[in-house]
Amino acid sequence: MPQFDPLVSSSILLESVLNLYSVFCRTSISVTRTDGYRSSIRSSSPNIYWASPSGRILQDYTPPHSPNPNALIIPLGSSPEGKSARGNARNDALDTAWFPFRTRADFELTEISVKGGLNSELTNNLLKGVNKDWGANGYKSHITIQSAAEMQQTLASARKYGVRFKSASILASYQGQKHEIKFEYRDPWEWITTLLNDPTLASTSMYHAVRKYYCEGSVAQTYQERVVDEPNTADTWWEFESELPEADPYPHCLFPMHVWLDEGLVTKRITMHPMVLRALFQPGNIRNASGNGGGVLFGYMPPICDPSDPTNRNTPQTVEFAQFKMEVYQKVLAVVFTSCRSRSRNGAAVRCPDGVARVFHPGVHINSLDGKEAAYFNACRAALANFPCPTCLVPHSDLHRITSTFKLRTTATMKAVVVKALKKKTKSDKEDLLKSYGLHGIEHFLWDFRFSDPYAAYSYDTLHSDDLGKWGAHLWPLLLEKLEELKAKGPFAENMRRFPRWPDLKHFNQVTTVHFTDGQSFYDILKCVLPCVVELFPPNEPLVHCIRAYQRYRIMVGMNCMPDTRLQRLDVFVEDYEHWCSQVTATHGKSFDFFKQHAASHVVRDIRNKGTTNHGSTRPGEGFQQEAREAYNRTNKKNVAHQMARIDETQETIARIRMKIDNYDKARHQSEDIDDSIDETPVASQQDDTHWKFGAPIPGHLVNSHALEEANAAFHNFDFRLREFISDTFPEEGIKFEDTIMVRRFQCVYITYQSREDWRGACDIIRCNPSFHDNVRYDCFLVNLTDPGLHFAQVRSLLRCHLPSGRQIDLSLVHMFASSRWKPKTRWAGCQIREKCKEYSFLSMEHVICGAILTPVSSSPDEPVHFVMDTMDPDMLLRADV
């Protein structure tokens, strides 16, 4: 029988369109004519339709034991509207939102002290000033706390309402001696129940697996294509859920977890090893953030002190020490997850905020680890071993064969190997057997769990496998080496320096002389590199083709929404990348037998099984290293793990109370009809339904079109051509020569559009400024013309014209791009060349689609021949190349 944890004192019936996740039976629902998504999900909501310019998403739930099939149709590009997940927060105990602090002022001063890392002396000085020294005569402070000690006492009371750290120890053997290792940890099941009981997370909770489909066409002839994004849309969650028992009487659900742990420097010489859990039942934008529902620190892996110099060890001694470290890993994690072991098999019932009691089976679904941590976590041998992959049994000599398949590791097969090895009579026989499978003779802590295969949970990581791996550690150094041989590093750096600037794209002034260590810098270099190097290499250079193949692969593999056709295209990109790697090996002698190269062989299966790669990335976890450094600096450098755990408890407590206060404020404002909204529209427009908004108006009043031409030599024949354009485009205006046209100029425009990547709304900021932060910025955009193909324009001026009729029309003065006959030395796959027209044209803003980057072929910004950059984001790659 399932265990029951009645931790919720009240239930809230939530009526939100995002509350999609109750149990329903497998069914298929036909769709009338539509352009959009179709998805199979289990929904407790009735059929809901959201208005949308085009298309819709149908989601129908389908677990095998569901009592009630229903569907939710979500149109593409829409925004959900429904009641807040927080329900009627006004009915909560408003006067105790800051409990256990006596007053709100007490809490907010404590919040300042905690966030600022103030020590006792500074806190006492602050309290003395607020309570006594800084007030005028008759001043009475709302703060009742009198000292830092009293503040700490209140914080100690507040920490009791969160998930506290516990103390534990394990014994591990090394060189015949037993070592006791102490550590502190949070109980994952206690954390799980707090999330499942939290009404603020109920509307976004994903209790069940779903299937999503892109669909279009009539009911009789419907085209549908499966789409994978969140982990609950992928295969593993679906397959695991199909194994759950029928309701007894409570419906059974998985509670899959995401585990991240890594070693990081908190000083130049001292490392700490934080471990973070994330709940996959929340969408990625919530669980990967730092707020409510985000990741939680569940402990620090205790440091393993090396009793000797590693350089003095022989091979058997090195293996023995590695096995000791892995034994510590496994025993520590076994203690941490003890509370989840039996519950993963039997389940435990929790009453959720919607009033439904559900039986949850916790399990580890995704491991986000770099190569070193993956070896320790999975008790496998490291990257230089004969079989280094934690997922499959690929020989080290075949790591370059990324289109080949190898036998996968499973819990059953690896457990059988370890059991067989432990029965060997000699140590050499035991080691030979373990080496043939790339294992250490250690029992994995997850072997006794249900719905938790550690080898399948190891996930593709774009940060370490790609940005810091294939590119940052291999292709990029090779490129610099070949440029050095050609004595072309200087021209390359100059080309990168002149590459057009773009929001969220780093600009590199010294790309060849700066040593980069962060993955984002490497990724941004990759996006820009080809036009800057192609003319520096001999014709038809294999390295250029290889970089292009890798660009397409890297952008595609990082997309957050993957229909079947993209996954098929990704398979093609993997094949193309492997082919050009072999050509680079033949030409330059570069070996691709390294583990991070091999990871590409698993990525398509990983996406199908566990969702898109952003859910398995280590990037969110890496951000926690900064928090660990800050916490370390607040300790006295003695027994730091205990102090850092206490600091984390305090920060979690402050964040929890702050959320309660914010909810209280929101409820109070709603009940009192307080309107404190702020209009952040860049510039008001006559039409509210346009997909563009002008911003940064040039100072001054409206200017007559005649005066504008006289004041700007670049606007040759401006007034006549403007009137001609308006007469042709808007003939109903009947513009005459003597009519006055007033013009206001702007220096940027916000373009909103529907992204091809995930069909959500996106926004580009297009600059039109001769001196934007001391740099010339005349950006480009993609425009919609009747001729087939992609059409681009470079904006020179943004104009709002006020016509005599009172009508406003928004125009841009542009240089259009036309096809060019010029060819680069190496024409890479998908390469597009355009030539900028010298004469300017008028373009209605209605024809602008989104922003674009076109970079000149030479280092001169006035060069007419340009490369079309389809690497700026996934949307442009899908428009231009796929």
Both tokens of 28, joined, read 């298929």
Which range among 63-77, 206-220, 400-414, 699-713 shows the weakest confidence by mean pLDDT?
63-77
Cα distance between residue 864 and residue 869, in whole Å: 15
Nearest partner of 794 among 837, 844, 831, 747, judged by Cα: 837
Beta bridge partners of 181: 170
804 pLDDT exceeds 80?
yes
Q: Which range (89-93, 149-153, 646-650, 706-710) has the least confidence?
A: 89-93
Task: Return d(Cα 431, Cα 421) in angstroms, integer.
Answer: 8
C-beta separation of 305 from 291 below 8 A: no
Q: Does residue 71 contact residue 39 with C-beta atoms inside 8 Å?
A: no
Residues 6+ apart with CB under 8 A from 216: 33, 34, 35, 36, 55, 222, 223
Kindly write down the DSSP assignment for every residue of 568-623, as one continuous string.
HHHHHHHHHHHHHHHHHHHHH-----SHHHHGGGGHHHHHHHH--GGGT-SHHHHT
Model confidence at 89, pLDDT cuts 50, 70, 90, reads very low
Using only the alpha carbons of the chain, give its radius of gyration. Answer: 31
| Residue 739, pLDDT score | 86
CA distances from 251 to 347, 516, 706 (A): 11, 51, 74
Residue length, the chain? 882
| Residue 735's pLDDT band (cuts 50, 70, 90) | confident
Which pLDDT score is estimated for 24? 26
Model confidence at 219, pLDDT cuts 50, 70, 90, reads low
Is 87's pLDDT higher than 70?
Answer: no
pLDDT, residue 742, reads 92
Overall average pLDDT of the 705-725 stretch: 83
pLDDT, residue 29, reads 27
Residue 333 clears pLDDT 50, i.e. is over it: yes
Q: If residue 343 lies in a helix (H) or strand (E), which one and from where to where?
A: helix 338-346
Q: Which two tokens stand for residue 137?
A: 């005569």
Whether the predicted pLDDT of 58 surpasses 70:
no
The region of weakest confidence among 136-140, 513-517, 580-584, 821-825 is 136-140
* Bond prior to 100 in cis (omega within 30° of 0): yes
Please indicate whether residue 45 or residue 125 has the higher confidence score (pLDDT).
Answer: 125
pLDDT above 90 (res 75) = no
Look at residue 869 in the predicted model and tell me its pLDDT. Answer: 96
Res 135: pLDDT: 72
Q: How confident is the model at residue 830 (pLDDT cuts 50, 70, 90)?
A: very high
Contact between 608 and 567 under an 8 Å Cβ cutoff? The reply is yes
Q: Evaluate if residue 865 carries a pLDDT over 70.
A: yes
Q: What is the mean pLDDT of the chain?
A: 85
The confidence score (pLDDT) of residue 683 equals 55
Is 812 a residue whose pLDDT tops 90? Answer: yes
The whole-number pLDDT of residue 682 equals: 57
Q: Is 456 left (phi over 0), alpha (psi -120 to 50) or beta?
A: alpha
- Do 679 and 135 touch, CB atoms closer than 8 A? no
Burial 730-749 (b: 16+ CB within 10 A, else e): beebebeeeeebbbbbbbbb
Q: Is the pLDDT of residue 775 over 90?
A: no
Side chain identity at residue 12, one-letter code: I
Q: Render pLDDT for 348-369 as a digit per residue (tens, 0 to 9).
A: 999 999 999 999 999 999 999 9
pLDDT over 70, % of the chain: 86
pTM of the model: 0.86
pLDDT at 83: 35
* Contact (Cβ atoms closer than 8 angstroms) between residue 791 and residue 782: yes
Contact 544, 534 (CB under 8 A): yes
Q: What is the DSSP letter of 178?
A: E
Q: Where in 271-321 does DSSP place strands (E)?
A: 271-272, 274-279, 296-300
DSSP string, 639-682: SHHHHHHHHHHHHHHHHHHHHHHHHHHHHHHHHTT--------S
b/e per residue, 514-548, with b = 16+ CB within 10 A? eebeebebbbbbbbbbbbbbbebbeeebbbbbbbb
DSSP string, 14-61: ---TT---S----------SEEEEEEE---SS---B---SS--EEEE-
Q: Label residue 322 by pLDDT band (50, 70, 90).
A: confident
Specify the pLDDT at position 2: 44
- Whether 65 has a pLDDT exceeding 80, the answer reads no
Helix residue ranges, H only, 467-518: 476-485, 489-497
Closest alpha carbon to 158 in 660, 666, 663: 660
Q: Where are the domains of the chain?
A: 101-160, 462-615, 692-880
Summarised one tens digit per residue, pLDDT across range 276-289 is: 999 999 999 999 98
Tokens standing for 314?
């022989």
Q: What percent of the chain has pLDDT over 90?
A: 63
Checking if the pLDDT of 72 tops 90, the result is no
Q: Which DSSP state fits 845?
A: G
Any bridge partners for residue 255, and if so which?
362
pLDDT band at 318 (very low <50, low <70, confident <90, very high): confident
Asked if omega into 249 is within 30° of 0 (cis), the reply is: yes
Angle at 96 between CA 93 and CA 97, to 5 degrees: 90
Q: What is the pLDDT of residues 680-696, one digit of tens each?
A: 345 545 556 789 999 99
Structure tokens at 684: 């008001």
What's the confidence (pLDDT) of residue 220? 55
Report the CATH fold assignment for 692-880. SH3 type barrels. (2.30.30)
Provide the pLDDT for residue 688.
Answer: 66
User: Which residues lie below 8 Å from residue 598, measured CB to CB, with a gap of 6+?
Assistant: 389, 394, 399, 400, 402
Position 14 pLDDT exceeds 90: no
pLDDT at residue 487, as a whole number: 96
Which ranges in 160-187 belong to alpha helices (H)?
none
Using the predicted structure, report yes or no on whether residue 723 has a pLDDT greater than 80.
yes
Q: What is the pLDDT of residue 859?
A: 57
**Amino acid 62: pLDDT:** 53
Question: DSSP strand E in 106-231: where?
Answer: 165-174, 177-186, 211-217, 222-228
> Can you give the pLDDT at residue 496?
95
Confidence of residue 91 (pLDDT cuts 50, 70, 90): very low
Pairwise CA distance, residues 450 & 344, whole Å: 5
